[in-house]
Structure 1
């Protein structure tokens, strides 16, 4: 699944050529894993020791090697594009607009110097791990709750087929109409983050809350996600209900509140407020595209006749898909639509 997520993400981030470059895809995947491991290892050391310890830690050495390899791939792409734009400017033509992160970074920099490879790897870290994790959870839920497979496929055919999806062509508006899938993904995310705290912050100054509680300066704080399991908000909160948010959106005035990419105090999968995940809309569309292909082209089930959702691994307050977990996959015959 990480291979799929990496390739789809890089198609948007770096363009159609590099997203098929196996070396580049390997770098983005390894850097994602190694950078998180390096950060975790560095936290075990005093801040005073980190400036020299990082030279010795194997994970940090791998990260530096991956960054060097990334520069060898990304820098020529950026240089070639800048040269084309310089030539166009000399000819009195406008700047070439390309809808990818290479162009976005250059445009946002406004002439300031920056490291394009670092920027691309930062995008990879932000997009690859979290999107892979949630996509895996969705696949496991499809295996454990096969009663949703048929309705999801019918929705895909209705929306993306000839009658409902403008000739089957991909449109952002069409993805927004995959409302059952949107609900299924959001419910998967809700249960994935059960008994978890999120939005880690450090207070820069003392803060007094409305009940008189004082948060001292430099305190590490997190926000509990217990509302996601509150039966007053979500009836039968420990039961997976793929239609839960679809039904909640049918209430008057609630149509947009419970979309997958919409944040709220009750559902902090993407955080909330000014610092909510800015890539959540991209992630929502990406996961829908991936699940559409998976559902239309393949059948999925858990091995050994299992029907229960595999337990997630715990690390501190986090929960993750077990990397040793496996599912059975079979190519379908008679696909309803051509993707």
Structure 2
């Protein structure tokens, strides 16, 4: 051993030769390993290309077209792709019903990793095993009694955010809708005091927007570099500042709440609170309640505001929908009141929202899972333990699944529902392999029932109280950024107060 080292030290050219040889062998091995698979690679690396940086960057800027072409090329076949979620196996939608309840396909691990929960500032994205239980056990089961407070908060928030001006004025959908949804959601999660705290509404909305924006930026860097590169990114600095601001806003509310709870306990009385903090406590959660609240808020704000914004854009582009939607609201609410059952019977509204989600889901990839063991796909192909799979959502615009699939049709799911009331498939909250707006299977979005009701209540207020339109010549154009399918953030709406046919604020709930 010593003589070999002496040879290397005494002969630099020999040392260089050995180093180059070892490096070459490593490159060849790395290149071959990257292609040992029976799945075709949609966007392969070039020969001897060491990293996937180039193909990943190409995917990020043209993801929608790449995934659309991939599904056309490999119609019923799985394929691999380099994405901002890493190297994934993209499966066809036909596989989903067979895999939707598979116990060896984990959702939390890839979701947490892709959301950068390991990076300071992204702590609210740390997966909490209690969140699904809290949402289904407490939030969803409370929907009947949540309609009134949601509508009350919507009434106040719309008046303050959108004003009562009868003159046409500009509305900034991303900013204004986030504020509205933040207030409505916070009313349910932690009560009136918090949702009327302007600092919290601003901080929670700002953190939500900044976290997803920063996540998109981080995904442009190789996965191995992200635990280091975030220290040098201004967007990450801003994110940590926004998180601290949100935590500071919550502190006085949590302290006040703690004093009241302690007093009730000392007097032998039950907790006077029935909110998200209490729900987590009942499930034995030990996480920081401020982070839990921010985590719950950002999930609710992001998905709900995104879908509400897209629905407003589509109604503005199809103004013939205003009258029938208003007539439906007036007929249903005047006879049934503002109740959960009434929201169920807003069938045209349900269809318009679901169609908006079909044409622009929040993600271009759904059913994100990681194999916890070797599993066999329905066609017999093997997914190895540790591999990540996803189903692209581009088939939702495919003529094989929907007639005139590229066209917005607000009545599409309304007609399906009218054809068979027993068929739950056309309902907004229903998931299926051909509509992945809320995911599918065991890990479909647990909060979709609350989100659907919240959006419908917001739309009832919007449609009855306001007219809105796009500026002349403006057509919102969504864009893919990696797996995210983003709204047109530059598009603005013109809005004005109108005389409503029905006073929603006086309806019995």
TM over 0.5: yes
* Deviations 1:226-284, CA, capped at 9 Å, x for gaps: 44234354222122211111211123364422210111111110000011001111110
Distance 1:20 1:3, change over 3 A: same
* Deviations 1:56-80, CA, capped at 9 Å, x for gaps: 3322222322232222222332232
Is 1:201–2:369 an aligned residue pair?
A: yes
Could you tell me which residue of structure 2 aligns to residue 297 of structure 1?
465
Larger relative CO (CA 8 A, sep 6+): 1 or 2? Answer: 2
Give the Å deviation of 1:141.
Answer: 0.9
Out of 209, 214, 226, the position equivalent to 2:382 is 214
Give the Å deviation of 1:41.
Answer: 3.6
In 2, are the aligned partners of 1:10 and 1:18 still within 8 Å (CA)?
yes
Could you tell me which residue of structure 1 aligns to residue 198 of structure 2?
22
CA distance in 1, matches of 2:218, 2:486: 21
Is 1:336–2:502 an aligned residue pair?
A: yes
Out of 263, 268, 271, the position equivalent to 1:87 is 263
Give the Å deviation of 1:160.
Answer: 1.7
Could you tell me which residue of structure 1 aligns to residue 65 of structure 2?
none
Instruction: Point out the more displaced range, 181-190 or 54-63.
Output: 54-63
Kindly report which structure 2 residues correspond to 1:303-318, keeping only aligned pairs within 5 A, or say none.
Answer: 303-304=471-472, 306=473, 309-318=475-484
In 1, are the aligned partners of 2:398 and 2:406 still within 8 Å (CA)?
no
Give the Å deviation of 1:336.
Answer: 3.0
Is 1:262–2:422 an aligned residue pair?
A: no
**Equivalent position SS for 1:17:** helix
Kindly report which structure 2 residues correspond to 1:243-282, keeping only aligned pairs within 5 A, or say none.
Answer: 243-252=411-420, 254-282=422-450
Distance 1:194 1:175, change over 3 A: closer
Could you tell me which residue of structure 1 aligns to residue 492 of structure 2?
326
Instruction: Point out the more displaced range, 7-16 or 71-80.
Output: 71-80
Could you tell me which residue of structure 2 aligns to residue 132 of structure 1?
305
Out of 290, 296, 299, the position equivalent to 1:123 is 296
CA distance in 2, matches of 1:220, 1:261: 26
In 1, are the aligned partners of 2:398 and 2:405 still within 8 Å (CA)?
yes
Is 1:142–2:318 an aligned residue pair?
A: no
Give the Å deviation of 1:137.
Answer: 1.1
Give the Å deviation of 1:128.
Answer: 1.4
| Residue-pair matches, total | 329
Give the Å deviation of 1:40.
Answer: 3.1
Kindly report which structure 2 residues correspond to 1:164-175, keeping only aligned pairs within 5 A, or say none.
Answer: 164-165=336-337, 170-175=338-343
- After superposition, the CA RMSD in angstroms is 2.3
Could you tell me which residue of structure 2 aligns to residue 113 of structure 1?
286
Could you tell me which residue of structure 1 aligns to residue 276 of structure 2?
101
Could you tell me which residue of structure 2 aligns to residue 77 of structure 1?
253
Distance 1:124 1:334, change over 3 A: closer
In 2, are the aligned partners of 1:203 and 1:217 still within 8 Å (CA)?
yes
CA distance in 2, matches of 1:213, 1:264: 23
Out of 405, 416, 419, the position equivalent to 1:237 is 405
CA distance in 1, matches of 2:299, 2:195: 17
Give the Å deviation of 1:323.
Answer: 1.0
CA distance in 2, matches of 1:141, 1:52: 41
Gaps of 5+ in 2: 1-176
CA distance in 1, matches of 2:223, 2:398: 39
In 1, are the aligned partners of 2:365 and 2:390 still within 8 Å (CA)?
yes
* Deviations 1:26-50, CA, capped at 9 Å, x for gaps: 1111111222233334444455544
In 1, are the aligned partners of 2:480 and 2:486 still within 8 Å (CA)?
yes
Instruction: Point out the more displaced range, 294-303 or 211-220.
Output: 211-220
CA distance in 2, matches of 1:265, 1:334: 39
Task: Flag the structure with larger Rg.
Answer: 2
CA distance in 2, matches of 1:77, 1:134: 30
Distance 1:334 1:91, change over 3 A: closer
Instruction: Point out the more displaced range, 122-131 or 329-338.
Output: 329-338
Could you tell me which residue of structure 1 aligns to residue 112 of structure 2?
none
Gaps of 5+ in 1: none
In 2, are the aligned partners of 1:157 and 1:337 still within 8 Å (CA)?
no
